[in-house]
Structure 1
Amino acid sequence: MPIDQHGDAILDGLSLRSLPKVSLHDHLDGGVRPATIIELADAIGLDVPESEPDDLADWFAEKSDSGSLVEYLKTFDLTTAVMQTREGLTRVAREFVEDLAADGVIYGEVRWAPEQHLARGLSLDEVVAAVQEGIEEGEDAAERRGNDIRVGQLITAMRHTDRSLEIARLAVEWRNRGAVGFDIAGPEDGFPASNHRAAFDYLASEFFPATVHAGEAAGLESIRSALIDGRALRLGHGVRIAEDLEVVSRAGEEVLVQFGDLARWVRDREIPLELSPSSNLQTGAIERWGTTMEDHPFDLLYQLGFSVTVNVDNRTMSRTSLTRELALLVETFEYGLDDLEAFQLNAAAGAFLPVEEREELIDLIAEGFDA
């Protein structure tokens, strides 16, 4: 199945881009258009490594293919630098939503860390307001083009700083005004969710949902902390839950797998895994299994009944889209439309929405795949 230059492919006569999708793990500062970075940088007198959008896109992709999450995260220094003004934040958020809509996304959750956008004097409340304004402008622009999309904010704290309780309170303050959940992000190894127990205790007392980056740069103990200390309803990446699975035997297509207690808990309680195939390769998250898409434990987790979802993580750094991620999985594991629909239904079921709205989303996905 050929994948075109825009990441699209045709499966059973349908364009993958045209299929309705749910995006749960999508970083705002990881999805800034290269052309926008150049323009915003010029406006504030910031030097950029490349002056042409295509060249800058190549630069991001090259720098992100380091095999290290720490090195991968350094590319965000440039994107966050151009997101320090109200105008910059609003524009980036608006274009982000427009790009999601063009990707076939009908519901998305965009995560970003307000504390990283205060360098030019804006307050935490002001940066959240600026992003919300851009989201709503993007939703309106998409609707004018005939694309219905809804996007909520995942207000994120940085796990290597000490502002998580403050950011958790900010998230709750913006409940019903655009914020749908909370996350912690940044360098995972050495910064477990337990460091932010006060924030997670507060969120639990307010019945405010959290997803936690875990099982990407650190293993099972990080996932355990996300679930116990962070009370995570979803796992950001979570791919290393596969370390708690032991393949006992193989006989043709039959594989006997022994579950550890943690893996069984995650599987049996249908805790969604926010898997990001291309990003997982770039950051070395799956190096235990190999370095190619064929080595990714995505299919093993899917076949064993885990609630797998497909995500981009960072569109700019991975030079990808949700359409392209699905196409890569089809190419690698020979999935059909029923499989792709299952991934979207898993994501819809795990969305931080009221149950009635999740059911509506599920109906829209079913209708779109039956069209």
Structure 2
Amino acid sequence: MAVNLPLPVAANLKPVPGIELGYAEAGVRKANRKDLLVMKLGEGASVAGVFTQNRFCAAPVQVCKTHLQGLQSGGKGIRALVINTGNANAGTGDAGLANANATCSALAELLGCDASQVLPFSTGVILEPLPVERIVAGMPQAIANLKPDNWYNAAESIMTTDTQPKAASRTVLINGKTVTMTGISKGAGMIKPNMATMLGFLAMDAKVSQPLLERMVKAAADKSFNCITIDGDTSTNDSFMLIATGAGALEVSDADSAEYAQLVAAVTDLSQELAQMIVRDGEGATKLMTITVEEGASIEECRKIAYAIGHSPLVKTAFYASDPNLGRILAAIGYAGVDDLDVARINLWLDDVWVAKNGGRNPDYKEEDGQRVMKQSEITIRVKLARGSESATIWTCDLSHDYVSINADYRS
């Protein structure tokens, strides 16, 4: 069960002018489940994305990168995205690339566009051939129910081990003009930044040039999807896509403008909500942990320490057990790889409880105070390094018996 994560309400997910969504039950891996999603974009939409840095990146990721690079050399704009769950099409070699391209070609023929205008995405089991014939057979059904208000069904269509769909909307007013944005995400395990084992799609009706959108998606991802971890495993298929349909009143063309700053802030805010939904629904998760490292010499070293804490199985299992064995956090800080760290200046808090003072146990710390905080479903770990003015925050979850069970039975 997800940690303090209510189900999205379909009626609250706002249609974004310029994009339609349709789903199908294609039987990619299992029958009688939504497992194929088509997003159709209107003329003039711009699309940008960030992808996994796993060297074994999946065939659809490679095709997406190629099609997006084509935009830089005068290629036609992206008109559709196609996403399947149940099969990752990763570790599949040349045949996997051929299947990803065949998927694009099939959808392009049905929609009347070029194959290079379609972006493919897959998620699921690695090292198995993509059943491309089932995906192609399901496309007419997905196209038949294309609707602007299909966001809830879209969120369900991309789930793997997720226990619930993940979706959210925003309406923001920028320079007197309304911008509508809605996003969906999926992911529950094999989560680690650059990116996580996740898919994320966020659409807005603002008009944003391609170069600015590429800058915006990287900025938003860096503060959201690249700030979450569940188990320290980086997947082969991770993708976060930002879509600007251009169907609304706001147009942004200057990175130094107030409009750009406000828009990227709104996109980042929604991206953080979608990213945190993934952590809240982490496989077997019972607690959400926010880890903030402050007073660092650089953001990089702050993140390095935050991830050392967030990836530690000993820390994560202690939080699952509500056991204030907090020396494990100090150990993780110490092995994070900041070689010149002065541990005698480290201070550590658990929510409002000052645990470690100047590198040692705070004389005023009481075990029962730590126990009180550890029993909460949401906990903040705060570390001060006394090295500078930089800071970083990541989000993670605990590690439970259910995590092992879910991943031991994943292919069953």
Q: TM-score range by the shorter chain?
A: under 0.3
Higher strand share: 2
Give the TM-score of the pair, scaled to structure 1. Answer: 0.24
Whose Rg is larger? 2
Larger relative helix fraction: 1
